[in-house]
Chain A
């Protein structure tokens, strides 16, 4: 089955902890993205990667970090510096940054 997987589906974090959200794709896409979705605010871009070993900040990168060591994988770390991390996180991929984006099922992060 081709597609994008995200894990875990639900994640709970204590204040002061770093957590890592997983995103994997087997679509052979070069570009991958992380978005954050808050109620009433639509989706906002956190980071994106056009190709392996390259990534760029999006609109709200503060408090987040990413890596792109493999084409298939684009993990997102939510650090303790992120002041309000409770949100729904969506990963996406596309053949290139100019092509249609396809989304994973999302991870809901809650800070306790």
Chain B
């Protein structure tokens, strides 16, 4: 059974700092890895999707990497801003078997960027 873990559970940083959020998964048979952002009381916003054949994806100040063999993904946020404060979730998409296509989510990292 796939398990997804995110470290740290919470992170507080001053504005302008570069930071890394970590995601690990136990089953490397994944189709892709998605990173989401969730603001309090809101739905999820998709940030980046990395296919299993890719090593990284970039969007603006965000860069996500994937190392399938070691079961790890990282989300790098450059020059953090107070508007980046939110919960960040990673999710691994299953590649086959009866759970094909299913997303398994981590519990999230709560990020606070203070001015």
Taking Cβ atoms with an 8 Å cutoff, the residues of A that contact B are 4, 6, 31, 33, 40-45, 48, 50, 58, 88, 90, 92, 96-98, 100-106, 108
Decide: A98 and B105 in contact? CB cutoff 8 A.
Answer: no
Is B102 an interface residue when CB atoms closer than 8 A count as contact? yes
Most buried by A among B34, B45, B106, B107: B107
CB–CB A102/B107 < 8 A: no
Q: Contacts A42-B106, A42-B107, A42-B108; is A31 near B41 (CB within 8 Å)?
A: no
User: CB < 8 Å: which of A101, A103, A108 contacts B41?
Assistant: A108
| Alpha-carbon separation in the docked complex, A105 to B39 (Å) | 10
What is the bound-complex CA distance between A45 and B102, given in angstroms? Answer: 8
Expressed in whole angstroms, the minimum distance between the Cβ of B79 and any Cβ of chain A is: 26
Question: Does B21 sit at the interface, judged by CB under 8 A?
Answer: no
Judge whether A42 and B105 touch: CB under 8 Å.
Answer: yes
- Give CA–CA (A96, B101) in the complex, Å: 9
Which residues does chain B contribute within 8 Å of A6, judged by CB atoms? 43
Contact A104 B43 (CB under 8 A): yes
Question: B45 touches which one: A31, A42, A103, A108 (CB < 8 A)?
Answer: A103
Most chain A CB within 10 A, of B31, B44, B49, B93, is at B44
Inter-subunit contact A90/B107 (CB<8 Å)? no
- Chain B residue numbers with a CB within 8 Å of A97 are 100-102
- Whether B100 and A102, one on each chain, are in contact in the complex, defined by CB atoms closer than 8 angstroms, is no
| B36, B89, B101, most chain A CB atoms within 10 A | B101
Q: CA of A31 to CA of B101 in the docked complex: distance in angstroms?
A: 10
The answer to whether A103 and B44 touch (CB under 8 A), given A41-B107, A42-B105, A98-B101, is: yes
Give CA–CA (A96, B49) in the complex, Å: 15
- 16 CB < 8 A contacts A-B: A42-B4, A42-B105, A42-B106, A42-B108, A43-B105, A44-B105, A90-B43, A90-B44, A98-B93, A98-B100, A98-B101, A103-B36, A104-B43, A105-B42, A105-B43, A106-B42
